Structure 1
Amino acid sequence: MDEKTGRRIAATRIARRMTQQQLADAALISLSTLRKAEQGARPITDRTLEAVAGALGVQADVLTGQQRPRTDSRVHAAIPAIRTAIDAYDLPDDGPVRPLPALHQAVEGMTRLRLASQYTRIAETAPPLLAELTRAIQDRDGGRRRQAATLLTAATRAADAVAYKAGYYDLSARMVELMRWAARQADDPLVEATAAYVRTETFFASRNLAPGLRALELALDQLPELTTVSARAAAGALHMRAAVVAARLTEAPACVAEHMAAARRLAAEVPEGVYAGTAFGPASVHAHEVSVAVELGDAARAVEVAAQPVGLDDLPAERRSHHHIEVARARLWLGLRDEAFDSLQEARRTAPQHVREHPYVRDILVTLLRLHVSPPHALVAFAEWARAI
């Protein structure tokens, strides 16, 4: 059992307002065993874990952080259909294909849902649209084929958001590869830049960040001259993400500064907006300044930047929600537990599905619970809603 499991046991016990002795008695284990388990100081057998979970009224996989998908979740229920839709992306069936304007409208709708973190609606509408776009990309007319490829890239990105947020990292990796394939068919460097941006998720999931940073820098090198707003926005987004990746690579602080400086320069020339499905502009760069400070472990800097009077209202809901989660992490590290919970509540008001699927949220909630002797009802209810306990 790892230390995180011990922290979840302690957090759930505190949320249930049980002492260690009461939980040990209810689980029929010794107080010493429970104390060492909560500290992560000794392994716990499956039998003991089940006993502790039963005494707490939860499933054992909640305590280990490996909650199984809920059978009543429409997102999880739709995953097999998404898999089927992309299995034969290069060998589509002979089904119908709507005209490109209609497909463009459908994909724009999917993108809006992604930016608003409406994962359930994406999951339910993605399979037939993905299947239709894999048929459309077979068009013999080069112009129509390239347009269909651009649309397939954007639709796959929306569906990938569902797979990644729900923890289906194998499916997410497959969808990233489909995005890259479709982007090459589009023959548009800005579409390929979008695929490179999203590809970073694969490296985040595997925690293999060095090649992720190289991939972003290669994508920057391959961009055309930044003579248009869209090109500058694409470059700025890649720089923002490269800065976050470099910040997680503790050996690359100079690289962090270089990428953030480049993003700031480009943001000064680009109004805040969504470009090729990615938000970029001054407010987006501001939010990434906070993320970079958090990744570098500089909580004071993160809170200082977050307090600057920069309007975030123009950002998509998902990005605003993520910003509030990052601020919550920083506030927690500074010992500002009430303020940290305030940030989580703001994140939830902004994009509830995004918050519920975010692993950092569960970690923050577990820590907040452990910091209380008698946690407030609102905190316990939030933790239960987020499946942190």
Structure 2
Amino acid sequence: MGMHVGQSIASERKVVGLSQRQLATRAAYSLSMVKAVEQGREVASPGFIAAVSRVLGVDPDRLTGAPYLDILEEEGPLDGLAELRAVLAEGVYVQAIDPPPVAELANELAAVEASLRNDRTRRALAALPALLRKAHGAALAAEDDAARERAYQLLCAAYIAAEGACCRLGYSSLTALVLDRLDAAAAHTTDSAYAVRSLVKRSRLLMEHGSTDVAMSLVDRGIGLVPGDTEGERVLRGYAHLRGAIVAARGRRLDVARDHIAEARSLARPMTRESDLYTTDFGPGNVEIHACAVELEAGDPGKAARDGAALILPGDMAAPRAGHHWQDNARAWLMAGKHDRALAALNKARTAAPQQTRLHSAVRETMYGIAAAQRRQSESLLGFAHWLGATL
């Protein structure tokens, strides 16, 4: 079997000289959980990985093995990655290039956002560096306040897209730099939506590093920035409540997480579709997906599995959002002891968002968990592992 996260944890634990009991105590998890994860009998949840990586003093990606370069290299070099790194390294000194007319720049941004929505992340990444340089150029060339405002809104949206691309491809180490640039650009707009997006996206990064208290404070700040009742404010507030639910669940504060779900559900109730305002994907379907995720993280995995399997996802839901739901549903079924249903859910994730599914660390962990639960590896599991580029 390929190397799972538990084996990486055991290796790193021994390097720093901690016993399993010491690691469990410092990470605030049970000794039995640490043993089960290290032995591959239990899937390492994102919250567990965050807590353990913090104790061990390593980046979470070191434990998960992301990015999966062998998979990425199958389709050739990642166009745009080196140039995006250069843009981020330049920081406030970014080399802008002459922009096209603002309508053309907006169309380029829309194409990038559509690529991300349709699980074409490599295509989005290839276009992002030039888009960012052009948007910086538009901000510098603006002749009045209205033009400057529009340019900075486009720049913010481009950095939001860059954060999404980095996360999906496994380059989460770049997201802090992306979010710093997003913060700087958002300060130049009068639209609070971009500050909300920046705060909530940073909360995700903090959550991955186990800083759930700070992450929750950013979510609360974001909610406070959109107190009104316009469609945009309601969508942004709902989006922030969904992130608050996951942060609270990750911090094992189930009551708080459920309160956030209730607030989000109330905001989504009048909606007839999933909103694409500010690329939030907020709507009734996404609320129910997050309700299942909360149960998976901090409540009843069996309920998460059953409720998640029964969901009929809206046809207008973004492919990666649907794919992520089925990834979570697979983990929930595995935790509920139904490995056949877990594999079926992984295949649904593969159908919904194949590129994202191949590159998501939780998918591999769930697959290894299924393999550990099966007395004899089934042909369907071996086929999935082959497609994933992993060995059992």
TM-score bucket of the superposed structures, by smaller chain:
0.7 to 0.9
What's 1:26 paired with? none
Give me the whole-angstrom Cα distance separating, in 1, the residues matched to 2:238 and 2:81. 32
Counterpart of 1:209 in structure 2: which amino acid?
A: T
1:265–1:66 Cα change, 3 Å: closer
Aligned with residue 382 of structure 2, among 355, 358, 380:
380
If you compute each CA radius of gyration, which structure gives the higher value, 1 or 2? 1
Aligned with residue 330 of structure 2, among 328, 334, 337:
328
What's 1:159 paired with? 162
Give me the whole-angstrom Cα distance separating, in 2, the residues matched to 1:2 and 1:104. 42
What's 2:58 paired with? none
1:74–1:325 Cα change, 3 Å: same
Shift of 1:74: 4.5
What's 1:27 paired with? none
- Count of residue correspondences: 339
Q: Is the 8 A contact 1:7 1:366 kept in 2?
A: no
1:230–1:64 Cα change, 3 Å: closer
What's 1:277 paired with? 279
2:272 is paired with a residue of what secondary structure? coil
1:89–1:267 Cα change, 3 Å: same
Moved more, 321-330 or 375-384: 375-384
2:276 is paired with a residue of what secondary structure? strand
1:370–1:191 Cα change, 3 Å: same
Q: Is the 8 A contact 1:78 1:123 kept in 2?
A: yes
1:25-40 residue pairs with structure 2 within 5 A?
Answer: 39=39
1:188 is paired with a residue of what secondary structure? coil
Q: Is the 8 A contact 1:86 1:131 kept in 2?
A: no
Shift of 1:271: 3.2
Which residues of structure 2 form unaligned runs of 5+?
11-37, 41-60
Give me the whole-angstrom Cα distance separating, in 2, the residues matched to 1:130 and 1:107. 9
Which residues of structure 1 form unaligned runs of 5+?
9-37, 41-60
What's 1:204 paired with? 207
1:129–1:63 Cα change, 3 Å: closer
1:284-363 residue pairs with structure 2 within 5 A?
Answer: 284-308=286-310, 310-363=312-365
1:130-145 residue pairs with structure 2 within 5 A?
Answer: 130-138=132-140, 139-145=142-148
Moved more, 81-90 or 116-125: 81-90
Shift of 1:346: 0.7
What's 1:255 paired with? 256
Give me the whole-angstrom Cα distance separating, in 1, the residues matched to 2:96 and 2:250. 46
1:66-81 residue pairs with structure 2 within 5 A?
Answer: 69-70=69-70, 71=73, 73-74=75-76, 76=78, 78-81=80-83
Aligned with residue 96 of structure 1, among 98, 108, 113:
98
Counterpart of 2:272 in structure 1: which amino acid?
A: P
Aligned with residue 195 of structure 1, among 189, 198, 212:
198
TM-score by length of 1: 0.80
Shift of 1:165: 2.3
Counterpart of 1:129 in structure 2: which amino acid?
A: L
Counterpart of 1:172 in structure 2: which amino acid?
A: T
Give me the whole-angstrom Cα distance separating, in 1, the residues matched to 2:210 and 2:368. 22
Cα shift readout 1:98-130 (whole Å, capped 9, x = no counterpart): 111111111111111112221110121111111
Shift of 1:236: 0.4
Q: Is the 8 A contact 2:305 2:336 kept in 1?
A: no
What's 2:53 paired with? none
1:142–1:67 Cα change, 3 Å: closer
Shift of 1:162: 2.1
1:280 is paired with a residue of what secondary structure? coil
Shift of 1:66: 6.0
Aligned with residue 116 of structure 1, among 85, 93, 118:
118
Cα shift readout 1:299-357 (whole Å, capped 9, x = no counterpart): 12212322445443221111111111111111111111111111110111111111111
Instruction: Work out the percentage of aligned pairs sharing the same amino acid.
Output: 26
2:281 is paired with a residue of what secondary structure? strand
Shift of 1:142: 1.5
Q: CA RMSD in A?
A: 2.7
